[in-house]
Structures are given as C-alpha cells and as structure tokens.
Amino acid sequence: SKNNITTLDLSSNLITGTIDESYCSVRLIVRNNSMTGKIPECFTCHFSDTFFKSNFDLNSFDNYDTIGTCKTIPKLKYLNQTFWLINKIVTKPVLSLIGQNIGFSQSNIISNISFDYMLKANSKFIEYSSYTPNRIIHEISFKSSGQNFTLTPDPYPPLLSNITSNNHILVFKGLYYSYDITEITITIGDKSCDVTDSTFYQITCTLTTYPNQLNNVSGTLKVDQLQTTFNLNLDNNDGNEVFNNYTSCPDNCESYNGNICNYNTGICECPKDWTGENCYTPIYYVSSITPTYEDGGLVTMNGWFGDIHKDLNITIGNQECKIDTISSNTITCNIGAGTGKKDVIVYQNGITWKSFNFFVYQSKQQTCLNNCIDTNHGICNTSNGICECKSRWTGFDCSSPSNNNNNNNGNTNNTVNPDGSTTINNDQTTYNILITSLLELDINSDTVKQYPLQNNWNITSNDKNGSNVTFTQILNETECQIVLSIQEIENDIQYSFAGLEFKLDKGSIKVSVSIHNYNYQSPLNTLQLQMISNVSDTTSNDCNSKSASTSTSILDNQTLNYISINKDNKILYGRFINRAISDGHTTLITTSLISSQNESVTIGINIPHCRTSCYIDP
C-alpha cells in the first residue's frame, strides 16, 4: 500500500496461499493460480462486474461466488498534483475523487466529471482539466457496487434544515455533510454527540449525556473544518423537531470566510471583501494594471476577484479584453491596439466594477522635456524620456549651464521643516514643496473624504545634517498610516523604482510617500495625493520683482511628467514618475494638474484602489 503500483498482474504462476487486505490498494489479477481462502471484501463487493470478477477465477477461493458489501467512503477534493506535460513538470490543483473502496477503474465511475486517471487503485482518481469552483452538487455512482453518492469539492459550511431527537438519538437533516464520520464533530452545550452514521444529507448521532440546560441550548456542527452554530430544545424526547429554525441564517453563513450569523435577525454579517445574503459573493476590485504598448498585447490585472467567476467579462475602452488566465488575485487578458487613457470595466457574478481612465496605452517612443532644447544641449533618450546632457549643460531639459565645480544649484540651501514641507532658498528667491492632503475619490472623481496632512506629521527618523527625514501620521479616526520620506541628494546617483532607472542630480530633493491599510468607503473608490510647489520673494528690491511663471508637461502615455516655476532667472523643476507599487505590484498612475497660478502649482497624484499598501516615489 506504500508504493505507486496501480495494477499487479500475477496470473498463471501456480501461486498458492491467501490474499490479505493490503492488496486492496492495487488492481489485483490472480486468475489461474492455486490460491485458497477468502477474497477480501474490497474486491468481492465489485463482483457484480463479471469482467472484474474474472481477475480471480480458476482458483479455489471460498467466497468466489459471493458478492460482498462495499464500505465506500468517497470525497471530492482539490489536491496539488505534479505530473509530466509536454516535456516539462507541472504542478497544479486538480479535482480528485478520493476515499475508501471507490473502485479499480475510472470507467466504473458514472458522473458529469470526467476522471482521466487512476492515481491510486481503490482510493484516488483525478481529472486533469481545469475545474472552476461553482458550488455545484455532483451525483457520483459506481457501476460495480450499484452505490450512489452526492458530493461537492467546493468548501461550504454544513446547512441545517431540521433536527429531531428521540431517546438520546439526534438526526440532523440538511446539506453539505460527509460520508466520513471521522471528520464530523457535534457538540450540544458542553456535551459531545457521537456520530454513528452520515451521508451528504443526514447525520445520526447519540447524545449519551444531556447537558444541564435543555431549553434553547446552543450547539455546533463541524464538518471538515467548516462549522455551523444552532440552538435547539431537548425537553422533548418523542421524535419531534427540536431545531429553533428562527436562529438560522441563509445557507448558514456561520464561519465561512469569517462570516457571523446574527441569530436575532437571521442575517449574515459579512466581513470585508464579501457581500450577499449568504456572504458568498466577493466584493472584487483591481488594485494594479500592467498595460501594453499601443499595438496591443497581454494585460495583467492584480487585485481581489474571489474564486467564483460566473460570466466574467473585461472591457477596456470599447474593446473586450479576451481572458487568458484567472485566479483569485490575478487576471491576464489580451487587448487590441489603441492609444491614450481608457476606462476599465470588470463584470462577474452579476456585479460590475469600473474605473475611469485606469488603463493607459504605453508609447514605445518616450519624449523628453522641451526636447532637450537642441542637439547642442543634449540628446533625448527615447527609450526612457531622459535627456543626456552635453558637458556644458545640466537640468532635466539640459537648459541650465553647468560650472566647473559641479555645484549645479549655485548658492542654494535646502531645509526640511517640522511640518513636512521643504524650503529651497537661493538668494532672495524661496521655493516651497509640501504635501497638503489625501483625498478619497468616487467613480465620478468627486471627493467623498479628505484628510489634511500638513502640520500633522511626526518625525520618526532624521540624520545628523537633516538631509534625510522620515515623517509619519495616522489619519484621523482610522488605522491608516502615511509615511513621508524627504531626502536631499548630496551627490549624483543612479536610482531605481518600480522597474525604472534614472539619475538624481546633486542638490535635488526626492519625496516619497507610502500609504498603508486605507479603508475605502467603496471598492470603486481611489485615492489622490495632492502636492503644492510655490515661490516667494524675501526682498522688495525692484530688480528682483519680476513676476513668476509656471509651466507643466503632463502626458498620460509618458513615463516622466514635469512642472516648472520660473522666478528671477531661477527655475524649480519637479519630475513625476508614472509608476507606483500597489499591494506589491507595479502599476501605472497618472498625474493631474489641479491648479496653476503664476507663483504656485498644485498637482494630484492619482492612486489606484490599493488595499494593503501604496508606494509612490514622485
């Protein structure tokens, strides 16, 4: 029984002796030998199949002409199985029929499930093809024994319809029970009810000792780790129904996905990510998208989709995205060619999820800021949209002259303030950078919640010279934590974030934000982080009184977007990356211009529906 043999043919070998029950684990063929004694019942219970019976003929067995009784205990399960497929080893969950005395050939099984292979004789058959959980109850029959069974592989808590009691014998009727009494536990009050018989629809148990309380006593029925709680009256002992039906919830939601049955109302109280009267419908969402280029291709969506995908359909813009693969957390699909921003619609299980402008076709040719002025200043790298400046020039667009001491920012002093803002001062010109608020937006981009962030920061780390400071804050009346990191770049460095690599110049300021455990009012809602950059004068000198001007370069299909504020021949540049890490996956994000005045620019960084964490490195 501990080997991988499925069929053992020992026919025509003049073998003597008997067969013990250890041979029940193989399809045994011993015809035309000199064997005696009794054939184990695991074989004789299938002797109505004359072909199978012939495996034992031409011997001297005592019970060759006797048909035994099969003690069959079948189960349907998802089990990981490793097998060789087209020159490679594959491991995946497969639908398996397992148990005791379930036969020696898949052709013996009558079912709407096509079992492809007998992995272990009399105990394990598998189906190679993909099986989607769908709450279907399957009827399975065995030709040779004439037995019929009702089974389902999908996790489902036991459902109670009624309980009767008669002289310490309790009979439970309902659904989703088991033929294996060893995986059933019933507790009445503080007493155990010993299970003596069970099918998919009925359980019989003996309550040897009654609990002290007989009226409205609580009980628990547990089948293979899923349980249902109920109340019943035991002061009747004449075979009447004792189950207090008013305490039950639809499909007995108790303990499935953490559901709680309210026994006063009979209504399931669903946890986060589930809905419906029985809490079986996932409240799904998309937290990140890996898009494709403008000529189309494979799209990857990450989020939460549950394990039931009835009538799944995905639309991007006006095109259907044809499903390639799907799991509870990831969907891949193929989309045709297109350009620009597109709405995303996911439909399944009668529920529609939608996000406006969430998908952005990517351009293979990236543009550079101001086209790097001209070829004398720099060359545009169209693979990443970054200017490669000539030796005499510097800046994002190579417009600023460099000097020999490599101090490109002149007499500039940077200060990180206790309120989370950063001040950049050069002579009489002062620039300010500050993150002002976090907004929760509904599907129409209307604000449903707004949290002011300025002046609410706590410093959690600070290096000696103040060039690398980390702030945190907990949003008011929530468990959401915001982490703000501000770093002054002391030397030119190469930096990597979300799969992008780029240069950070000496003297620049890098601002990073992470958002953890935000609780949305709706799975359709998203976030927007708002930042302000402005400029002011510290003198009234007429020669320094020229008005400031602002400009922006924000394109949806470009990796890098820019803002600039020009004052007195000094320019503050801001560069924003169109990537974020949402719940552990890289995704595209967009930047919106909220307002632009002569001396101030407010931008909004649009963040998808990330449930656990969002990392933004703008």
The reply to whether 286-360 shares the fold of 159-242 is yes
DSSP secondary structure code for residue 293 in this structure? B
Helix, strand, coil tally for the chain in percent (to 5):
5, 50, 45
Radius of gyration of the chain (CA): 35
Q: Where are the domains of the chain?
A: 73-151, 159-242, 286-360, 365-409, 410-616
Cα angle value 575/572/382 (rounded, 5°) = 35
Q: Closest by alpha carbon to 423, among 512, 535, 510? A: 535
Q: How many helices (H) and strands (E) does the chain have?
A: 2, 54
Return the CATH fold of 410-616: Beta-galactosidase; Chain A, domain 5 (2.70.98)
φ, ψ dihedrals at 180, nearest 5°: -100, 105
Give the per-residue pLDDT at 13.
95
Give the per-residue pLDDT at 536.
78
CA–CA distance, 568 with 299 (Å, rounded to integer)? 47
Candidate ranges 11-15, 164-168, 398-402; pick with highest mean pLDDT? 11-15
Amino acid sitting at position 196: T
Flag whether pLDDT at 214 surpasses 60.
Answer: yes
Flag whether pLDDT at 594 surpasses 60.
Answer: yes
Taking residues 45-59, what's their average pLDDT? Answer: 94
Flag whether pLDDT at 466 surpasses 80.
Answer: no
Counting Cα atoms < 13 Å in the Cβ hemisphere of 136 gives 12
Give the residue with greater pLDDT, 2 vs 46: 46
Q: Closest by alpha carbon to 472, among 463, 464, 462? A: 462
286-360 maps to which CATH number? 2.60.40.10
CA–CA distance, 537 with 460 (Å, rounded to integer)? 32
Check whether domain 159-242 has CATH 2.60.40.10, yes or no: yes
Q: What's the order of all strands across the beta sheet hosting 147-151?
A: 109-110, 138-142, 147-151
Please state, in angstroms and as integers, the Cα–Cα distance from residue 152 to each residue in 278, 327, 356, following that order. 18, 20, 39
Taking residues 276-289, what's their average pLDDT? Answer: 83
Taking residues 241-266, what's their average pLDDT? Answer: 59
Mean pLDDT, the chain, whole residue set: 85
Is residue 92 within 8 Å of residue 109, measured between CB atoms? no
Is residue 162 within 8 Å of residue 245, measured between CB atoms? yes
Taking residues 31-60, what's their average pLDDT? Answer: 95
pTM of the predicted model over 0.75: no
Is residue 510 within 8 Å of residue 491, measured between CB atoms? no
Strand ranges in 1-123 using DSSP code E only, listed in sequence order: 7-9, 16-17, 27-29, 34-35, 73-84, 89-100, 109-110, 117-120
Give the per-residue pLDDT at 266.
65
Continuous segment of H or E residues that includes residue 139:
strand 138-142
For residue 336, what are its two tokens?
């045709």
For residue 233, what are its two tokens?
């009256």
Contacts of residue 457, Cβ cutoff 8 Å, sequence gap at least 6: 418, 419, 420, 471, 472, 473, 484
Give the per-residue pLDDT at 185.
95
Q: Are strands 7-9 and 27-29 parallel, antiparallel or unpaired?
A: parallel
Give the per-residue pLDDT at 2.
65
CA–CA distance, 175 with 598 (Å, rounded to integer)? 71
Taking residues 129-136, what's their average pLDDT? Answer: 65
Continuous segment of H or E residues that includes residue 238:
strand 238-241
Q: pLDDT (tens digit, 9 = 90+) per residue, 341-375?
A: 899 999 998 888 998 888 988 888 888 888 898 88
Counting Cα atoms < 13 Å in the Cβ hemisphere of 596 gives 13
Give the per-residue pLDDT at 264.
56
pLDDT band at 410 (very low <50, low <70, confident <90, very high): low
Give the per-residue pLDDT at 246.
43
Pick the CATH number of 365-409 from 3.40.390, 1.10.10, 2.60.470, 2.10.25: 2.10.25
Which of the residue ranges 124-128, 401-405, 572-576 would you say has the lowest mean pLDDT? 401-405
Place of tokens 């060359």: 379
Question: Which residues are registered as beta bridge partners of 243?
Answer: 232
Give the per-residue pLDDT at 407.
47
